[in-house]
Chains A and B, each alone.
Chain A
Amino acid sequence: MPTWMTLAKGPAFLFVLTVLTLGLLRLIFLTTWDIILAIRSAGDRRLPYRQIAIQTVSWLLPLNRLHRNRAGYSLASFSLHVGILVVSLFLRNHIDILNANTGIAWIAISKPILDALTLVGIFGISALLLFRLYVYGSRQLSKFADYLLLLLLLNIFLSGFLAGRPWNPIPYDGLMLFHTLNGMVLALLIPFTKIAHCVLFPLIRLGTEVAWHFKPQGGSETVKTLHGPEGRKI
Chain B
Amino acid sequence: MTIPSEKTMETSPPQQPYFYHLESASITELDDRAEKFLSALTAILRNSNYHFLIELYAKTSAKCGRCAESCQVYQTSKDLRDIPCYRTNLLLDVYKQYFSSNGQLLNRLVPGNSLSNEKIDEMAELFYRCTACRRCTLDCPLGIDHGLLAHFGRYVLSEAGIAPKGLVVSVREQLEGTTGNTSAIPLPALLDNIEFLQEELQDMTGKLVDFPVDQEGAEYIFFPAVSDYLMEADTLMGNAAALQAAGISWTIGSKYYDGINYGLFYNDWALERIIQKLLEEAHRLKAKKILIGECGHAARSARQFVPTFANGRSLPVVSILEVTEQAAREGKLRLKKDQVTERVTYHDPCNIARSGWIVNQPRQLLRSFVNDFVEMRPNGRENYCCGGGGGLVSLDEIYDFRMKVAGKTKAEQIQKTEAQIVATPCANCKKQLRELVDHYKLPVQIVGVHDLVLRAIQL
Residues of A within 8 A of B (CB): 27, 31, 34-35, 37-38, 41-44, 46, 55-56, 59, 62, 65, 68-70, 73-74, 77, 135-138, 140-143, 146, 192, 194, 196-197, 200-201, 203-205, 207-208, 210-223, 225-226, 233-234
Number of A-B pairs, beta carbon distance below 8 Å? 177
Determine if B55 and A34 form an interchain contact, defined as CB atoms under 8 angstroms apart.
Answer: yes
B268/A214 in contact, CB under 8 A: yes
Instruction: Label chain A's interface by main secondary structure.
Output: helix
| Given the contacts A213-B49, A219-B272, A146 and B63 also touching, CB distance less than 8 Å | yes
Q: Is the CB of B52 within 8 A of A31?
A: yes
Q: How far is the CA of A38 from the CA of B309 in the complex (A)?
A: 15
Give chain B's interface secondary structure class: helix
Most buried by B among A35, A38, A221, A234: A234
Q: Measured between alpha carbons, how far is A42 from B53 in the docked complex, in Å?
A: 14
Nearest residue (CB) in B for A191 is: B59
Partner of B39, one of A34, A194, A221, A226: A226
Pick the residue among B39, B85, B86, B272 that contacts A216 (CB under 8 A). B272
The answer to whether B142 and A201 touch across the interface, beta carbons within 8 angstroms, is yes
Residue in A34, A68, A210 whose beta carbon sits within 8 Å of that of B138 in the complex: A68
Instruction: Flag if A70 contacts B49 (CB, 8 Å).
Output: no
Assembly CA distance A113 to B43 (angstroms): 54
Answer whether A194 and B61 are a contact pair too, CB < 8 Å, given A38-B49, A43-B311, A221-B47. Answer: yes
Q: How far is the CA of A77 from the CA of B59 in the complex (A)?
A: 19
How many Å lie between the Cα of A194 and that of B64 in the bound state? Answer: 12
- A211 lies within 8 A of B148 (CB): yes
Given A197-B142, A208-B144, A219-B270, also A138-B47 (CB < 8 A): no
**Cα–Cα, bound, A214→B89 (Å):** 22
Give the residues in chain A near B144, CB-CB below 8 Å. 204, 208
Partner of A43, one of B55, B57, B308: B308
Q: 8 nearest interchain CB pairs?
A: A219-B269, A34-B52, A43-B308, A69-B69, A44-B307, A221-B47, A211-B53, A205-B143
Residue pair B43, A226 in contact (C-beta under 8 Å)? yes
| Cβ A200 vs Cβ B39 within 8 A | no
Question: How many Å lie between the Cα of A69 and that of B65 in the bound state?
Answer: 11
Closest to B306 in A: A44
Which among A69, A135, A219 has the highest number of chain B CB atoms within 10 Å? A219
Q: Which of B253-288 contact A (CB under 8 A)?
A: 267-273
Q: A141-B80, A204-B142, A213-B49 are in contact. List 19 more A-B contacts (CB 8 A).
A: A31-B55, A37-B52, A41-B49, A42-B308, A43-B308, A69-B139, A73-B64, A73-B66, A77-B141, A137-B65, A140-B80, A201-B60, A205-B143, A208-B144, A208-B145, A213-B308, A219-B273, A222-B268, A226-B159
CB atoms of B272 and A137 under 8 A apart: no
Q: Digitize B54-80: 1 where CB-to-A-CB distance is under 8 Å, 0 elsewhere.
A: 011101111111101110001000001
Given contacts A70-B66, A233-B176, contact A222 B44 (CB under 8 A): yes
Q: Known: A69-B139, A215-B47. Is A234-B172 also a contact (CB below 8 A)?
A: yes
Does A138 lie within 8 Å of B64, measured CB to CB?
yes
* Docked-complex contact B159 and A194, CB < 8 angstroms: no
Q: Is the CB of B52 within 8 A of A207?
A: yes
Interface flag for B40 (CB, 8 Å)? yes
Q: How far is the CA of A207 from the CA of B47 in the complex (A)?
A: 17
* Interchain CB contact (< 8 A) of B47 among A140, A146, A208, A222: A222
Query: Which residues of B sit under 8 angstroms from A137, Cβ to Cβ?
Result: 65, 68, 74, 80, 83
* B48 contacts partner chain A, Cβ-Cβ < 8 Å: yes
A219 touches B55 (CB 8 A): no
Known contacts A142-B63, A200-B59; is-contact A216 B308 (Cβ 8 Å)? yes
Q: A215, B148: Cβ atoms under 8 Å? A: no
Contacts of B270 in A (CB 8 A): 219, 234
Residue of B at shortest CB range from A42? B49
- Taken together as a complex, chains A and B put the C-alpha atoms of A59 and B143 apart, in Å, by 9
